[in-house]
Amino acid sequence: MALSLFGGDEHLHHIVAAQDVAKELFALLVEARTIYLRDVVVGGKQYRRYAEDFVNGHRYIDCDRAACRNCHEMNIHIVKGLLTDCAHLIQPLFTAADFSFEECMELKRTYDRFVPSYPVVHRDYGPVTEVHPLSFGCDFTPKQMVGITACADTYHLFCVSPLRIEDMEALFACKKGFSIRVNKIRYVAVLFDALLEHSFIQHRWQSVLGQGRFLQTKDGDRFVSAANLSSALSVVRKNMTSVAYNIRRAIGQLEE
């Protein structure tokens, strides 16, 4: 059974299969529907505020298992995307007489294929903000973004603990004014090089990172340049470590 978020402690079960992940997503959307009908339809709450409050109020679970936490992180990321980018799909379903598991799965399939008609960059689940002209040319699925974040967090690539999906979203969206301190430049370079190798990003990633000043050195005294990244990548290619191999393997698994 899925890890229940809304029952008592006696109903908590670990996520062990794909069906468990789907059940947890359904449970989240059922709860979102209940709150939508109560707060927005009846209470007159602004939809944007409702979506923001729901995601922030369901971000964490009381479980220490990495599998459960990662699956919940992926599901809450999907819910965020549905509530913010696909309100036109969500609202008719939420106001219908019933909302079934089958409808939830069809909604998920529609969301996986959905492409916004405008570039979307989110800030704290709020309104769309300015899009920076720089771009990596990437279009990650929620599951892929979870995988990239987990990889970067596992090998401590950045001076943020725990690393959030929102941090990686801002980085890959080239969000204007965003920057993050790098813990290990050579492994960050490996991460991006592996993404290029599997055609997830464009070849000018070093230039984008340098021009956008998205990466700071570990001490925060300066920004990481394209030359810094190129040199770091050359060094690690000459002396590949187990960490570098593991990062490349993790990125390769994003295609599965």
Is the pLDDT at 110 greater than 60, yes or no? yes
pLDDT at 256: 66
Q: How confident is the model at residue 115 (pLDDT cuts 50, 70, 90)?
A: low
- pLDDT, tens digit, 9 for 90 and up, residues 71-80: 888 889 899 9
- pLDDT, tens digit, 9 for 90 and up, residues 5-42: 433 333 456 555 677 888 888 999 999 999 999 998 88
For the whole model, what pTM was predicted?
0.52
DSSP for the chain reads ----SSS-GGG-----SHHHHHHHHHHHHHHHHHHIIIIIIIT---HHHHHHHHHHHTS--S---HHHHHHHHHHHHHHHHHHHH-HHHHHHHHTSS---HHHHHHHHHHHHH---SS----STT-S--PPPS--------HHHHHHHHHHHHHTT-BS-SSPPHHHHHHHHTT-TT--EEBS-HHHHHHHHHHHHHTTSS-TTHHHHHHHHT-EE-TTSSSBPPHHHHHHHHHHHHHS--HHHHHHHHHHHGGG-
pLDDT at 119: 44
Task: Read off the pLDDT of each residue in 120-132 and give the average, rounded to a whole number.
Answer: 42
- pLDDT, tens digit, 9 for 90 and up, residues 186-241: 999 999 999 999 999 988 899 899 999 999 999 888 999 998 999 899 899 888 99
Query: Token match 């405008």: residue?
Result: 118
Task: Read off the pLDDT of each residue in 122-130 and give the average, rounded to a whole number.
Answer: 41
pLDDT at 170: 93
Q: How confident is the model at residue 127 (pLDDT cuts 50, 70, 90)?
A: very low
- pLDDT, tens digit, 9 for 90 and up, residues 134-151: 899 888 999 999 999 999
Please, what is the average pLDDT of the chain? Answer: 83
pLDDT at 17: 64
